[in-house]
Structure 1
Amino acid sequence: MNIGRVLASGFGALVVTETAAAVVVVVRLGWTWQQALDAFVVTNSAMALTFGICGAILAWHRPRNPIGWLFLADGLGHATTALCAPLDGPLIATIASYAWPWSIGLFLPLSLVLFPDGRLPSRRWRAVAIAIVVTAPLFVIELGADPEGPGYLKLPGYAELGPLWIVSELRTLAALLAGVVALAVRYRRGEDSVLWLLLAASVAAAFVVPWSFVAGTPVFVLLSIPLIPVAVTIAIVRHQLLDIRLVVSRVLAWVLLSAVVLVVYGLLVAVLDRFVSAQLGRSVVATVVVALLVAPVLPRLQRLVDRALYGDRGDPARVVSKVGEHLAGEGLAGVVEAVRVALRVPYVALTAGQELAGNGTRPDNVEVVPLEYDGVTVGELHVGVRTGESTLGAADRNVLRLVAAPLAVAVHATLLSTQLQASRERLVTAREEERRRLRRDLHDGLGPTLTGVALSADAATNLLATDPDRTRTLITGVSADVRTAIADVRRLVEDLRPPALDELGLLGALRQRAEHLVRTPLQLRLDVPDEVPRLSAAVEVAAYRIATEALTNVVRHSRASSVILRLSCAEALEVEVTDDGPPNGPWHPGVGMQAMRERAAELGGGVEAGPTERGGRVWARLPVVEVP
C-alpha cells in the first residue's frame, strides 16, 4: 500500500471517528433531535461523513487528484465543528467557530474549479484559483471573530466593519459562482461528467439559497449539501453509472416547472386576495387555476431542457438541414462536426476503409451506422455514445437514419472524386514515364547511332580520293548503322501505336499478333466477327494491348493446351481470352494485369481476370466510341 492510500485511509478514519464521537457526546448529554439540529451538529455530521468518506475514496483511487484531499480537509473541518459544538469551554468554542468556514470558503469552491481532473480549465483560471485561496481567510475571520459568539480570537470593532463583511459574503458567493462557471466551461467542451455535479448543485442550491436569504428557513435544508461530494465522487470514479443526461433533463424540467408554479401561484393569490372575497375560497381557486395553466407547460419545458442536453435529436428535419448546409459549405469535416453538435455526442467520424473526417474525442463505446448507396455499403458513420449511456437512444437512431442517406451520397461522391484524382495522377505518371523512356531510347540508342553515321560519312568523304578500300569499309558500316537506326525508329513507333492497327485493322492485327505469340502444341482459336465498326484509336489500342497481354500470360504461365480469343462488338467492345490450363490457385496481379485494368479504366471500362472451373479467363469491356 503506498503512502497516498495510507494517508487517505487515516484521514477518512479520523473524520468518521470525530463524527461518531460527536454523536456519542450528544446522546450522553441527552439532547433531542431538534436540539442537535439547531446546534448544527446533525448538518455538520452529515457533511463531515459525506465529504470525508468521498474524499477518502477519491484520494484512494486518484491520489494525484487534489479534489480528494480537499474533500478530506472539508470533512475534517465539519467533523471538528460537530464534535466541539455540544462541548463547553472557550478554546473548544474557538475551534468550532474557525473549523467549518474553511470548508465553505476555500475547500468547496476550489474543488469546483478543479473538477474533475484536478487541473484548472485553462491557464487564465490561475488568477481565479489564487484569489480564492488568498481571500479565504477573510470569510473565516468574518464567521469566527464575531464577539457575540463564545471563545477566543474575537475582533474588536467587529460591528464597525460591516461593509467588509458584506464584501466577504460577496467574495464567497463569487468563489462558488466561479466554480459553477468552470463547470459550464467544461460542459461546453463536451465533458459530460460535470452533469453529475450540476445536478447535485442544482438540487442543493434550490434548498440552500432560501436558507441564506429567507429568515425562518429550516436548518435541515443544509442536508442537501452532501449531495455535492457524492456527485463528485461518482463523476470521477464511476461517471458512466447511468444516463446522467436523462436524470438532469427530468430534474431540471421539474425544477423549472416548480419555479413557474410558485411564481404563478403567488401572483394569483395576491390578485385573488385583492379582488376576491375569502368566502369564495381563493386558495382553492388559485390552486385550480395554477394547475390549468401549468399542465401544458411541462412538455414545453421538457423539450427545452432536452434540447439543451441532447441537441436537436427531437427535430430530425433540423439536423438534416444542418447537414445539407455544411455539405455545401464546409465538406465532410463540417458535416461530422454539425452532427456531433446537433446530437450532443462526444465523437462522430466518417470512414470508408479509412477515416475521411472526424470530430471530438473517441470514447470506448462507439456505435456504427452503415452508409449505403444504391444497395452497396460505401462507408460507415461512427458515433460515440454519451457518457453514462450504454447505447444510443431511439430518437438518436431515427435522426441518424435520416442523416445516413445524404451522407452516403457525399461519401460516394468523395470516393469517386478520390478515384478520379488517383486516375489522373496515374495518367500523368504514365505519360511522364513514357516520355522519359522515349527520351532515354532516343538519347542512348538512336542518338549515338546517328552520330556514328555522321562521323563515318565524314571520314569516308575525306578518304574517298586517297583510300578507296577504307572508304568502302566505312560506307558499309554506315549502311549497317542506318538499318539499326531504322529498326530503333520502328520499335519506338510500335510502342506508341502498333503499326499493324493502321495496316491491318484491329482484327487483322490481333490475328497477326496471335500467330506470332502462340506456337504448337498450344492450339489457338479465334472467335471474332467478320468486321467491327470503325473505333477510336484509344479503344483499338486498349483492346489490342489487353488481348496480346492476356495471350502472353497464357503462353508463359498457364500450361494450357488450347486458348480461345473472342471479340464481340455491340453496345460495347468485349475481349475475352480463355484457356484450359490446370487451376493453380488464385491469381496474384502483376504489372501486366495492372496495366490491363488501368487501360480499361481510363476509357470507362473494366477488366475481370482469374481462374475458373475450366481454366483461366480474362474479360474486358470497353465502351464503343465510333469515329466517322
Structure 2
Amino acid sequence: MNRSGRREGMAPEVRKSKQWRLASLQLLVLTFCVITMAMYVSNIPRYYKALVNTCIVQGCGNSVPAMPIPEHGLTIEDYALLFVLIDCVFTFVFYATSVVMLWKVFREPMGLLAATAMVSFGTSFPSLTIVASEGSLFAQNWFLLVSMLGWISLSLFFFLFPDGFFVPKWTRFVFLLIVAVDGLQFIYHGQMWDRLGVPEFVQLIWYVGSTVILIYSQVYRFRKVSQPVQRQQTKWVVYGVSIGVVGFVGMSILFDPSLNDGSAITYVYLNAILNLSLTAIPITLALAILRERLWNIDPLVNRTLVYAALSVCVVLLYTFAVLYLSQLFQTKDNFIVSLLATAMVAVAFAPIKVWLQRQINRVMRGRHDDPYAVLLELGNQLIKPLAPEAMLDAVVRTVKEALRLPYTGISIGVGGQQKLVASAGEPVNELHSFPVIHRGEELGTLVIASRSPGEAFSPEDGKFLDVLLRQTGPIVENVNMTLGMKLLARDLQDSREKLVLAREEERRQIRKNLHDDLAPRLAALALNAATAQKYVVKEPETAIEMLADLRQVIRSTVSEIRTMVHDLRPPTLDELGLIGAIQERIHGLSKPAQLLAEEQGSKPLRIGLDAPQPLPVLPAAVEVAAYRIVIESIVNVIKHARATSCTVRLDINSAHQLTVEITDNGRAGRVSSAASVAGKGGIGQQSIRERAAELGGQCGIERLEDGGTRVFAVLPL
C-alpha cells in the first residue's frame, strides 16, 4: 500500500521534471537559433564589402579564391551581389525549414534536433560567416561553435531519425567519434587537420566513411526496423542526402582550378549548383517530419535518375560531336560546328530519353510498361508441350521476373478448397491478391508480394496485371478441368473399390446367413420329416405332434428367408412401387410412434407424404436408396427427435434427379447425436450419406432456424 502511494506521489514529480527538461531544451534551442540568425543577418553587409574590396580580386584564404573579372560584362559589385544572394538564399532555405519545424513540432525532441541542425549547417556551410567574422573574436568563436554543432546535430539526427534510437547500436560509437573530431576542430579553430599534420587521403577517408555510415544507418533502419510510414520517411531523407552528397562531391571536383578557367562567372555557376543540390536536404527533411501521409517518392527518384543520366548523355554527346566535327573541319571555333553538334543532340535527345526511361523503369519496377512484349515471351513458352501445371509455373515466373517481385503464386479451387498449384520465390513482404476471372467466373487467385515492405503497386503495375490476368484465365480453366478430371478419376476409382468391397461384404454376409442359419434349419427340417415318417404307422399321435412342430419350424424358416430377401430388396417395392412402399411403412411405424408418445406423455407424431402421382420408372438402385433414406430418417425422428410432425417429400427436379426431403419439428440437437439404428439392416445417418454417395448423389442433414431437422438427398436417375 505504501509502495503504490509512493508511486502515485512520484508520478506528478516525474512528469513535472520531464516538462521542465523539455521547456529548458526548447528555450535553449530557440535562443541559439535566434542569436545565430541575427548574427548571420548582421554580417551580410560586411561580407559584401569584403567581397568587393578584397576577396574577389585578391582572394580570402581557402574560403574565396581570387577570381579574374572579364573586361566586358558584369562589374565587381555585381559579382559580389550574386555571391551574397547565392549564400543568403541557401541559408534562408535552411532557416525557413527550421522555423517551420519549430512551429509545427516544437514539443518533439526530434523536431528540436532537426531545427538545430538546419540552422547550424545552413549558417556554417557558406563562406559568408568565415569571411565576415574576420577581426571579431566573438563572431569567429560563435560561428566555429555553430559549425561544430551543425555537423554534430546533423549526424545525430541521421543516426536517430525517425524513432530516436541508434540503429544499429554500434553507430553510437561512430557518433562519439564524430563528436570528438568536431570538438577538436573547434579547439584548433577549424585547422585541426593542418595542425596535427594529417595526410589528405586520411581526411578523405574520414569524410567519405562518416557520410557512408550515416546513409548506411538509414538504409539498415529502412530494411530491418522501420514500419511502413517510417520507411516512406526514410526514403525521403536518404533521397535528399543522396542528392546533396552527389552534388557536393561533383561540384567539389569541378572547383579544382585545373578543371575550370577560374573566372568569377564560373564560380557563380558552381556555387549556385552546389548550394542548389544541398538544399534538397532541408526540403526532403521537412517533408519527412511534417507530412503524415507522404507522397510516393519512387516516381521522383525515377525521374531524377532519368534526367541525371540524360544530362550526362547529352553532355558527352555534345562534347564528342564538337570534338569530332572540329577535327573533321580542322577548326576550333566555328558556328557551323556548334550548330551541327546542337542538331545532333536535338535529334538524339528523344530516343535517348525514351531508352533511359525504359531501362530505369525495368531496374526499379520491372517491365510493367511493356506488357505485350511480356505476353509474347509467355506465349513462346506456352506453345511448347507443357503440362497444365507447368503452364502455371511459367505464368508465375513471368510475373515475378517482369515486375521484379520477391514472390508470385496462383491458387485455384480444388475439391471446394483453395490449393496453391504454382509459386515462385519467397513471400517475404506483404501479400496482395488479384482474382483470375474467365467467362464471368472467378477461377483462381494470383498472389504477389510487395517489392519492399509497405510499398504499394502503381497504376502501371495494375494495368500490366490486368492484361496478364486476362490471358491467364484460359490457362487456369484448363488446369481446373485437368485437376477436376483427375479428382473425378480418383473418386471413381475409390467408388469402384468401395463397391467391390461392399459387394464382397454382402456376399460374405449372405453366405454366413445361409451357411450358419438357413442350412442347419433346412437340414433339421429334413431330419424331422424323416423321423415323423417313421412314427406315422407305429405311433400316429407322436407323428402328428412332430409334424406340428415341423410346421412351426417351417414357418419360422420362411420368415427368416423373407427377412433376408427384404434386406436385399424390400419386396413391397416390386409390389407397390416406391410411394406405395413408403406409405405402407409409414402406416406400420405410426402405431409404435403413438405408443411411444403415450409413454412419454406427449402429442403423437403425424407423418405425411408429399409425392407426385405417379413417379416415372426409377432404376432399382435409386428406389432402394430412396426407400432406405426415408425409412431410416423416419425411425430417427421417432426414436430421438420428440417431434409432433414429420413430412416426407419426393420430387423430380429439372435436372432429372430424384429429390428426397424429410423435415420434422423436433429437437435440432439430434443431428449431432451418435448414429442411430434405423431398423433391421439400417446403419444410421452415415448410412444415409453413403447410400446417396454410392449413386453419385448428394446428401445433407441440417438444423432449421425455427427448430427441427431437415434431411435432404439428391439422387441422379
TM-score between both structures, scaled by the size of structure 2: 0.56
Q: Aligned partner of 1:244: which letter?
A: I
Matched, 1:21 2:38: yes
Aligned to 1:161: 197
Matched, 1:93 2:140: yes
CA distance 1:282–1:398, change in 2 (3 Å):
same
Query: 1:53, 1:72 within 8 Å by CA — same for their partners in 2?
Result: yes
C-alpha distance 567-546 of structure 1, shift in aligned 2 (>3 A): farther
Residue identity in the other structure for 1:231 = T
Please state whether the residue corresponding to 1:621 is helix, strand or coil: strand
Question: d(CA) in 1 for partners of 2:418 and 2:106?
Answer: 39
Change (3 A) 1:400 1:175: farther
Deviates more, 1:391-400 or 1:336-345: 336-345
2:713 aligned with 1:620, yes or no? yes
Question: Are the aligned partners of 1:575 and 1:619 in contact in 2 as well (CA < 8 Å)?
Answer: no
Contact kept in structure 2, 1:527 and 1:567, CA below 8 Å: no
CA contact (8 A) 1:264 1:290 kept: yes
1:258 aligns with 2:311: yes
Following TM superposition, by how much is the alpha carbon of 1:311 offset from its aligned partner in structure 2, in angstroms? Answer: 3.0
Partner SS, residue 368 of structure 2: coil
CA displacement 1:78-100 (0-9 Å, x = unmatched)? 36648965344234313323532
- Decide whether aligned partners of structure 1 residues 21 and 283 sit closer, same or farther in structure 2, where only a CA change above 3 A counts: same
- Give the root-mean-square deviation of aligned CA atoms: 5.9
| Unmatched tracts of structure 1, length 5 or more | 146-151, 431-485
Residue 197 of structure 2 aligns to a residue in which SS? Answer: helix
Aligned residues of 2:434 and 2:447 also touching (Cα < 8 A): yes
Give the equivalent residue in structure 2 for 1:210. Answer: 250
SS for the counterpart of 1:243 is: coil
Match of 1:500 among 564, 567, 571: 567
User: What TM-score comes out, normalization by structure 1 length?
Assistant: 0.62
The one of 316, 323, 327 aligned to 1:274: 327
For 1:396, give the aligned amino acid. Answer: G
Q: Could you tell me which residue of structure 1 aligns to residue 369 of structure 2?
A: 314
Q: Cα–Cα, structure 1 residues 93 and 249, in superposed 2: closer, same or farther, change >3 Å?
A: same
Pairwise mapping of residues 22-171 of structure 1 onto structure 2 (< 5 A)? 22-26=39-43, 31=48, 34=80, 37=83, 42=88, 45-46=91-92, 48-49=94-95, 52-53=98-99, 56=102, 60=106, 63=109, 68=111, 70-78=113-121, 81=124, 85=130, 86-87=132-133, 88-104=135-151, 106-109=152-155, 111-112=157-158, 114-119=160-165, 125-135=168-178, 137-138=180-181, 141=184, 145=188, 158=194, 161-163=197-199, 165-171=200-206
Q: Structure 2: any 5+ residue segments left out of the alignment? A: 1-14, 50-78, 256-266, 421-425, 499-555, 591-605, 673-683
Distance 1:34 1:15 in 2: 29
| Cα separation, partners in 2 of 1:8 and 1:206, compared to 1, 3 Å | same
Q: Distance in 2 between matches of 1:362 and 1:61?
A: 34
3-state DSSP class of the match of 2:658?
strand
Amino acid of the structure 2 residue aligned with 1:45: T
Question: Deviations along 1:4-47, whole A, 9 cap, x unmatched?
Answer: 86467545533541354135413665947946946996267336
Q: Distance in 2 between matches of 1:237 and 1:355?
A: 44
What is the CA-CA distance between 1:297 and the residue it aligns to? 1.0
Give the superposition deviation at 1:298: 0.7
Match of 1:219 in 2: 271
1:517 aligned to 564, 586, 589, which one? Answer: 586
Distance 1:236 1:594 in 2: 66
The amino acid of 1:264's aligned partner reads L
Q: CA deviation at 1:376?
A: 3.5
Report deviation, 1:374. Answer: 5.7
Correspondence for 1:590 = 671
- Return the alpha-carbon distance in structure 1 between the equivalents of residues 570 and 248 of structure 2: 100
Distance 1:159 1:414, change over 3 A: farther
Distance 1:167 1:35 in 2: 37
Task: Report if aligned partners of 2:661, 2:713 keep a CA contact under 8 Å in 1.
Answer: no
Question: What amino acid is the match of 2:365?
Answer: Y
Deviations 1:411-459 (CA, angstroms, capped at 9, x unpaired): 9799989x99xx99xx9xx9xxxxxxxxxxxxxxxxxxxxxxxxxxxxx
Tell which structure's C-alpha radius of gyration is larger.
Answer: 2
CA spacing shift, 1:619–1:202, aligned 2, 3 Å:
same
Which residue of the partner structure matches residue 605 of structure 1?
697
Structure 2 counterparts to residues 360-509 of structure 1, below 5 A: 369-372=434-437, 375-377=440-442, 392-400=458-466, 402-403=468-469, 405=472, 500-502=567-569, 504=571
State how far apart, in whole Å, the 2-side matches of 1:197 and 1:36 are.
30
- 1:311 aligned partner, one-letter code: G
| 281-290 or 595-604: bigger deviation | 595-604
Where 2:150 maps in the other structure, the secondary structure is: helix
Residue 594 to residue 373, structure 1, CA distance change in 2 (3 Å)? farther
CA displacement at 1:308 relative to structure 2:
3.3
Within the candidate set 569, 575, 580, 2:658 is matched to 575
Counting aligned pairs with the same residue, the percent is 21
Match of 1:546 in 2: 629
- 1:272-323 per-position Cα deviation (integer Å, ceiling 9, x unaligned): 3333323353222222212222320111111222233333322446499599
Give the counterpart letter for 2:297 in structure 1: I
Which digits, 9 at most, give the CA deviation of each residue in 1:305-345, with x for residues without a partner? 223333332244649959999x968999x969966993669
CA contact (8 A) 2:93 2:279 kept: yes
Q: Which segment drifts farther, 250-259 or 202-211?
A: 202-211
Report the residue type matching 2:114 in the other structure.
F
How far apart are residue 252 of structure 1 and its match?
Answer: 1.8
Is structure 2 residue 297 aligned with structure 1 residue 244? yes
Aligned partners of 1:567 and 1:42: how far apart in 2? 92
Query: Following the alignment from structure 1 to structure 2, what is the Cα–Cα distance between the partners of residues 46 and 229?
Result: 11
CA distance in 1, matches of 2:402, 2:31: 46
Counterparts of 1:565 and 1:196, CA distance in 2: 72
